Amino acid sequence: MTTPPFAPATAADIRVVSEQLGREARGVVGISARCVCGNPTVVSTAPRLENGSPFPTFYYLTHPAATAEMSRLEAGQVMVEMNRRLAEDDEAREQYTAAHEAFLADRAQFGEVSEIDGISAGGMPTRVKCLHALAGHALAAGRGVNPFGDEALRRSAWSPERCECVDPGAALRDETAGAAG
């Protein structure tokens, strides 16, 4: 079993994620990917939230510029093209199934939830349903794990290599201030 690629979330991270989402962050077990400025981009979320609700999306894209760009791609019918390729391309289907299995293995380390047993996110492994979830998985797991998440990021005008945060470095500044105080 592998360890999911993330660092524990700090109080500053939770504040930034809550601001990014426009609501209180729920069930965060770690930060799976960060902007170049240090702010969270993807969180890992418990498979069952504090209120008892099952939550299948272990890797959750939170960065506003990234989520807006995934929405733009979805509106541009990119998923229709990806689904067509998934139906016709055996290699893409095999890679996507492997991504689904990797996602499930990462989430399982935080508990099994019968209501979502075998369900990952983004439509895996049979369809491309949510580029937000697939891009979040690709950012967290690294290139080469989720083929359609990787493709969405390649086609995106947003880049994890460039900061587009409203408050760049907020998480890092908050932690530094807390450590000094």
Domain count, the chain: 1
Q: Which residues, in sequence order, are CB contacts of 65 under 8 Å at separation 6+?
A: 158, 164, 165
Note whether residue 154 is domain-resident. yes
Q: Which residues, in sequence order, are CB contacts of 23 under 8 Å at separation 6+?
A: none
Provide the domain limits for residue 111.
11-158
Note whether residue 172 is domain-resident. no
Note whether residue 164 is domain-resident. no
Note whether residue 21 is domain-resident. yes
User: Which pLDDT value is given to residue 181?
Assistant: 47
Classified as helix, coil or strand, 60 is strand
Write out pLDDT tens, residues 110-144: 999 999 999 999 999 999 999 999 999 999 999 99
Rounded to an integer, what distance in angstroms lies between the CA atom of residue 141 and that of residue 146?
A: 8
Strands ordered across the beta sheet of 59-61? 28-34, 40-45, 59-61
Note whether residue 145 is domain-resident. yes
Summarize the confidence of residues 70-97 as an average pLDDT.
97
Note whether residue 60 is domain-resident. yes
The count of other CB atoms within 10 Å of the CB of residue 86 is 21
Note whether residue 31 is domain-resident. yes
At 146, list the tokens.
């989720």
Rounded to an integer, what distance in angstroms lies between the CA atom of residue 47 and that of residue 26?
A: 11
Note whether residue 177 is domain-resident. no
Write out pLDDT tens, residues 4-18: 567 899 999 999 999
Write out pLDDT tens, residues 17-53: 999 999 999 999 999 999 999 999 999 999 999 999 9
Q: What is the pTM of this model?
A: 0.91
